[in-house]
Amino acid sequence: MRARVLLVWWIACFLWSGAFLFIKLGLRDLPPFTFASLRLVIALLVIVPVSIVRGDWQSLSRRDAAVVGSAGVLLLGVNYGLVFWGTQFIASGLVAILQSAQPVLALGFGSFIGSERVTIRKLLAVTAGVAGVTIIFGAEAHVTGRQSLIGSAAAFGGAVCVALSYVWIKTYARHVSGSAVTALQSLAGLVPLACLALMFEDARPFSSWSVAAWGSLLYLGVVASVIALWMNYWLLQRMDASALLIMSVAEVPIAVTLGAIVFGERLPRGTLLGAAFIVAAVVAALGRKARASSYGIGDRLDRRRIGRHG
């Protein structure tokens, strides 16, 4: 089971790493809130029929719907709005760097709520990850200058939303199936994004969109918003939110490299040093002892309940 969890973790990590590239690519043709809204529309067209066929909605209580929906507004509404809007002003790699604060934030939120078990090994892993991110951030900030402050603040705000929403789901709705969570959260996130798009943006006609824009929508709508997000919720039933979200730290070197190759975003010297710290953090966080420590007695009982839902 541990090998399977690790494999799914890395597959999801690579899928998410490409999302920053496709957001930047799609923004060439589409305004941010319209782009984010259409991403969720595509995701809903895929995931809703699947969840209906599976019958995942039958066991969903009103409390579950409220918890999942509120987390969806944060994760797919506010977060997507901030990230898509902020990416207009900064490099795609810098967005990935700022979003990699998620595990640190999740550890803090989880500890406050009481759902997260803090261990010395986990703290050391997060510290190494933060050190790597700080080195990369310093190098990137030196290149991009003051113009990136607004976009950077938006991207970091998105990271806060992601961390809080995952801890919220982990604590109060971890038994809900991944497809039901994905569908309900996509619907909840679509509402504020669509309102913002209608209020502030004039979308270009479909006929004027480039192939790259369509490809970006399909990748983000299907691969990221359905496949990778479902993987995340499958993993969330089997590991702590901070251990799952350290994936965002591992995505940084990949996203920065993709941005440098595709968009010519400058790759500072500090990136390689920062990447070394990040790899060390991932190895520490996903080592055998760390994975074992992410399960407490309460977690084992919860996993038995999840097995009955599975």
Task: Write out pLDDT tens, residues 225-263.
Answer: 889 988 888 888 888 776 787 788 788 888 988 998 898
Instruction: State the pLDDT at residue 174.
Output: 63
Distances from the Cα of 72 to the Cα of 156, 188, 206, 299, angstroms: 18, 5, 28, 23
Residue 113 reports pLDDT greater than 90: no
CB 107 within 8 A of CB 170: no
Distances from the Cα of 162 to the Cα of 57, 82, 98, angstroms: 24, 11, 12
Q: Can you tell me the distance from the alpha carbon of 295 to that of 186, in angstroms, rounded to the nearest whole number? A: 29
- Kindly report the pTM of this predicted structure: 0.80
Phi and psi at residue 27, to the nearest 5°:
-70, -10
Task: Write out pLDDT tens, residues 254-306.
Answer: 898 899 889 888 766 776 677 778 777 766 765 554 444 443 333 433 433 33
Please provide the DSSP assignment of 15-74 as one string.
Answer: HHHHHHHHHHHHTTTS-HHHHHHHHHHHHHHHHHHHHHHHTTTTT--HHHHHHHHHHHII
Q: Reduce the DSSP state of residue 298 to 3 states and report it.
A: helix
How far from each other are the two terminal CA atoms of the chain, in whole angstroms?
15
CB 184 within 8 A of CB 57: no
CB 126 within 8 A of CB 285: yes
Enter the tokens of residue 92.
């795609």
Task: Write out pLDDT tens, residues 176-219.
Answer: 666 777 888 889 999 999 999 999 998 778 778 899 999 999 99
Q: Which residue has the tokens 């690519």?
A: 25
Q: Can you tell me the distance from the alpha carbon of 310 to that of 301, in angstroms, rounded to the nearest whole number? A: 14
Q: Where are the domains of the chain?
A: 2-201+228-309
Q: Can you tell me the distance from the alpha carbon of 236 to that of 295, in angstroms, rounded to the nearest whole number? A: 12
Q: Can you tell me the distance from the alpha carbon of 270 to that of 131, in angstroms, rounded to the nearest whole number? A: 11
Mean pLDDT for all residues in the chain: 80
